[in-house]
């Protein structure tokens, strides 16, 4: 009886395991028999791992008595023929599904795939969105709304004690400076048009108090300057360098003002430079003050081309019309 039993085990072992290592087509794993969920076979089919040809044997159990996902017998063993049979089934199923997916858009135009008509509409929508974003960037260069834009109602209400530059018919190196006329502070709320179309003030420091178009939770400030390629001298020494942004509750009082931060306009940082505020506030502001403290090296005057304020409108305060600024303040521009 024992001889017959061992003979039976030997036959099973020879049929299922065969040589360990890289055995015949998909039978053995790296050092493990297929009966124990072996690794990748030479032909690429494995009881539990991925083969070099990309075909994986479906699920494998470990040890005798385990139930295999496909074709296993009651003793838990999985033969090469079982694997080959299941692979053929999987290949047939995949081929049928691929064929169905190719035909489905043309026949139904829907389902789990995108029909030709829907695909065309999606492509059109994507192109439209990209075109809008490119147009917005081309016109604005920031992609953010400007709440200090004069065309929308913003204005400079004060320059405090800033000394204007130049005086009437003032010349520099024998040439009229900016056409010999005083520049208007509201120029900083307009898009740049030409070199010289800026707000100029004497020296390196100046102040501009801006009334925004609405109460805004401020998030960014942008400073624009003309490109040095557009200036006769090829440089921008009159451009601002260091400046700060403040939120004001009342133009007549500086006690409750909020400092959003101090920023540095880089000479080689591009013509349009946007800065996130350094000290956010839970309050929204209708009035802001920009204080220019230093320029790029010109000792005579500073030119500010454009200032932009970005953020989100405070809808609650926006429902109440703000009080009209009385023009009796000594620094209010007429």
Domain extents in the chain: 1-107, 109-139, 145-318
Question: Would you say 260 and 221 are in contact if contact means Cβ atoms under 8 Å apart?
Answer: yes
Residue 3 has pLDDT above 50, yes or no: no
Give me the count of residues in the chain.
334
User: What distances in angstroms separate CA 321 from CA 11, 141, 286, 290, one per listed residue?
Assistant: 96, 31, 11, 24
* Mean pLDDT score of the chain: 71
What is the separation of C-alpha 54 from the centre of its chain, rounded to a whole number of angstroms?
38
- What digits encode the pLDDT tens for the residues 185-215? 999 999 987 898 999 999 999 999 999 999 9
Question: Would you say 223 and 307 are in contact if contact means Cβ atoms under 8 Å apart?
Answer: yes
- What digits encode the pLDDT tens for the residues 142-180? 889 999 999 999 999 999 999 988 765 555 445 445 444
Residue 11 has pLDDT above 60, yes or no: no
Percent helix / strand / coil, the chain, rounded to 5:
25, 25, 50
Q: How far apart are CA 82 and CA 71, in angstroms?
A: 5
Using DSSP bridges, classify how beta strands 206-224 and 155-158 pair: parallel, antiparallel or unpaired: antiparallel
Provide the pLDDT for residue 308. 98
Q: Which CATH number fits domain 145-318: 3.20.20.70, 3.30.70.20, 2.60.40.4070, 2.60.120.260?
A: 2.60.120.260
Cα dihedral across residues 84, 90, 93, 95: positive or negative: negative
- What digits encode the pLDDT tens for the residues 238-253? 999 999 999 999 888 8
Residue 76 has pLDDT above 90, yes or no: no
Residue 31 has pLDDT above 50, yes or no: no
Cα dihedral across residues 296, 302, 303, 309: positive or negative: positive
Residue 226 has pLDDT above 90, yes or no: yes
């Amino acid at each position: 009886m024992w001889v017959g039993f061992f003979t039976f085990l030997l036959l099973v072992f020879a049929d299922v395991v065969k040589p360990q290592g890289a055995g015949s087509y998909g039978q053995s794993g790296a050092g493990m028999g297929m009966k124990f969920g072996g690794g990748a076979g030479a032909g690429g089919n494995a009881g539990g791992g991925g083969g070099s040809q990309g075909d994986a044997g479906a699920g494998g159990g470990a040890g005798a008595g385990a139930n295999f996902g496909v074709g296993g017998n009651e003793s838990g063993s999985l033969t090469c023929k079982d694997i080959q049979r299941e692979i053929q089934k999987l290949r047939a199923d995949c081929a049928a599904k691929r064929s169905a997916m190719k035909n489905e858009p043309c026949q139904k135009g829907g389902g789990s795939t995108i029909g030709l008509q829907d695909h065309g509409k999606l492509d059109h929508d994507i192109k439209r969105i990209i075109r809008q974003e490119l147009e917005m960037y081309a016109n604005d260069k920031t992609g953010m709304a400007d709440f200090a834009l004069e065309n929308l109602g913003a204005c400079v209400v004060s320059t405090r004690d800033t000394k204007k530059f130049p005086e009437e018919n003032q010349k520099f190196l024998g040439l009229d400076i900016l056409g010999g006329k005083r520049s208007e502070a509201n120029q900083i709320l307009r898009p740049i048009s030409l070199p010289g179309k800026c707000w100029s003030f004497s020296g390196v420091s100046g102040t501009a108090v801006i009334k925004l178009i609405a109460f805004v939770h401020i998030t960014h400030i942008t400073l624009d300057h003309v490109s040095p390629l557009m200036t006769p001298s090829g440089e921008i020494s009159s451009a601002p360098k260091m400046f700060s942004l403040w939120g004001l509750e009342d133009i007549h009082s500086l006690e409750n003002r909020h400092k959003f931060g101090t920023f540095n306009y880089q000479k080689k940082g591009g013509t349009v430079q946007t800065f996130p505020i350094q000290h956010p506030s839970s309050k929204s502001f209708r009035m802001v003050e920009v204080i220019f403290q230093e320029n790029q090296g010109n000792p005579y005057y500073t030119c500010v081309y454009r200032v932009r304020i970005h953020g989100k409108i405070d809808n609650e305060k926006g429902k109440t019309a703000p009080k009209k600024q009385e023009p009796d303040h000594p620094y209010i521009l007429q």
